[in-house]
Amino acid sequence: MTRQRGTLVLGATGLVGRQVVAGLLEAGAGVRALVRNPGTACLPDDVEVVRGDLGALGGPGDRGALRASLDGVEAVFLLWPFATAEGTAPLLDAVAARARRVVYLSSAAVREHERSVERMIERSGLEWTVLRPHAFAANTLRWAGQIRAEAVVREPYGAAAMPPLHERDLAAVAVHALLGDGHDGATYEPTGPETLTQAEQARVIGEVTGRPVRWEEISPRATRRRMLDLGWPPPVVDGVLAAQAALVTAPRAATGTVEKITGAPARTFRAWVADHADAFATP
C-alpha cells in the first residue's frame, strides 16, 4: 500500500470505524476523526480528534469544524449514519475541495439514500471507492440477551443463509482502498468466507461459548410486533423481514473480495464469535 499522511475517518467511534482507525494507525497513516463528543470517543492517543456533528452541517459552526478536520487530509472514510441523503452534498463539496480520495461505506442492499450518496460521490471529481458489505457477523449481537438468559434464539427465518462478515475484514478492505492505488471507481462487496443459515450461526455461538444454543422458529408477525414495540420504524422492520425471507430461497454467496483486496482470507464466523464470546456468556 502507498502510505498517506492524512486520513479523516467519519464514523470513527462505530463498530467499523474503530477498526478502520486501528488499521490506518497500524499502516503508519496519520488519522483524524470528527466526533460529536471527544470526551467520550475513547480513541487511541495517536488519533487527532476534532469536535463536530455531521447531523448539523447546516450550522456555520459545524461547517467550520468539518473544514478544519479536512486540512491536510488526502483521503476520507465516509460512514453516513442517517437514513437520508440530505446533508451529504455540502459534506462532499467540502471533501472535494480539500481531499483527493473518498471511501464510502454503503451496503449490499443499496437503499435509496445510499444510492443517492453513491451517485453524488461519482459526480464529485474525487477518486472514489464504494464498499457494499453483506450481512455483518455483528448482527447476531441482537440475540445476545436471549442467549445469555435461556441459550435460545427465537426468531423467524432460521433457514435464511448469508456469509457473515467480520467488521475487521471490512475495515481492512477500507484501509487498502484509502491508502493504496488501483481502487478508483471500484465498487466492492465484501463478505465472510462461508454461507451459514441463521440457525447454523446460533449453533456455532453455542459451540464456541461451550453452552449449546437452540433455535426456536417463531412467526414473522410476532417478530414484527416485537420490533415495533421496541421502537423500530415500520419501514425498517418490514425491510429487515423481507430481506431475511428472500435469503431463505436465494442465499447470499461468499464473494472472495476480502482476500482479493487484502491478500488474507476472510475471518470465519467462528473466529468472530471467539472475538466476541463475552457478549453471549452467562453473567
In this structure, the answer to whether residues 63 and 153 fall within a common structural domain is no
pLDDT at 76 over 80: yes
Name 7's bridge partners.
31, 75
- Which tens digits make up the pLDDT trace of 209-223? 999 999 999 999 999
Distance CA 134, CA 49 (A): 30
Q: Bridge-partner residues for 126, per DSSP?
A: none
- Residue 168 domain flag: no
Specify the range with the lowest mean pLDDT, choosing from 6-10, 68-72, 142-146, 206-210: 68-72
Same domain, 19 and 114: yes
Q: Is 1 contained in some domain?
A: no
Q: Mean pLDDT: which of 12-21, 78-87, 226-235 is highest?
A: 12-21
Q: Which of 115, 132, 149 is the last residue of a domain?
A: 132
- Cell readout for 89 is 452534498
Is residue 170 in a domain? no
Lowest mean pLDDT among 38-42, 54-58, 132-136, 238-242: 54-58
Domain of residue 46, residue span: 6-132
Sign of the CA dihedral 141, 198, 112, 77?
A: positive
- Which three cell numbers, joined as nine digits, stand for 249? 430461497
Query: What is the spatial distance between Cα 31 and Cα 75, in angstroms, rounded to a whole number?
Result: 10
Q: 180 in a domain, yes or no?
A: no
Phi, psi (deg, nearest 5) at residue 42? 55, 45
CA–CA separation, 139 and 16 (whole Å): 13
Read off the C-alpha cell for 205. 455461538
> Do 209 and 106 fall into the same domain?
no
The pLDDT score that the predictor gives to residue 283 is 73
| Residue 218 within any structural domain of the chain | yes
Question: Given 82, 111, 132, which residue is the final one in a domain?
Answer: 132
Q: Is the pLDDT assigned to residue 154 strictly greater than 50?
A: yes
Q: Are residues 15 and 125 in the same domain?
A: yes
Are 275 and 201 contained in the same domain?
yes
Are 143 and 271 part of one and the same domain?
yes
Same domain? For 68 and 142 the reply is no
- Which of these, 144, 153, 148, lies nearest to 202 by C-alpha position? 153
Domain count, the chain: 2
R_g over Cα of the chain = 19
Residue 114 shares a structural domain with residue 217: no
Shared domain check, 148 and 116: no
Examine residue 172 and state whether it is found in any structural domain, yes or no. no
Amino acid at 277: A
**CA–CA separation, 208 vs 211, rounded Å?**
8
Summary count for the chain: helices (H), strands (E): 11, 11
Residues 205 and 154 in one domain: yes
Are 49 and 90 members of one domain?
Answer: yes
Residue 98 belongs to domain with CATH number = 3.40.50.720
* Final residue in a domain of this structure, among 132, 155, 172: 132
Residue 169 lies in a domain: no
Quick check: is 19 in a domain? Answer: yes
pLDDT of residue 202: 98
Please say whether the beta carbons of 8 and 99 come within 8 A: yes
**Same-domain pairing of 15 and 33:** yes
Widest distance between CA atoms in the chain: 54
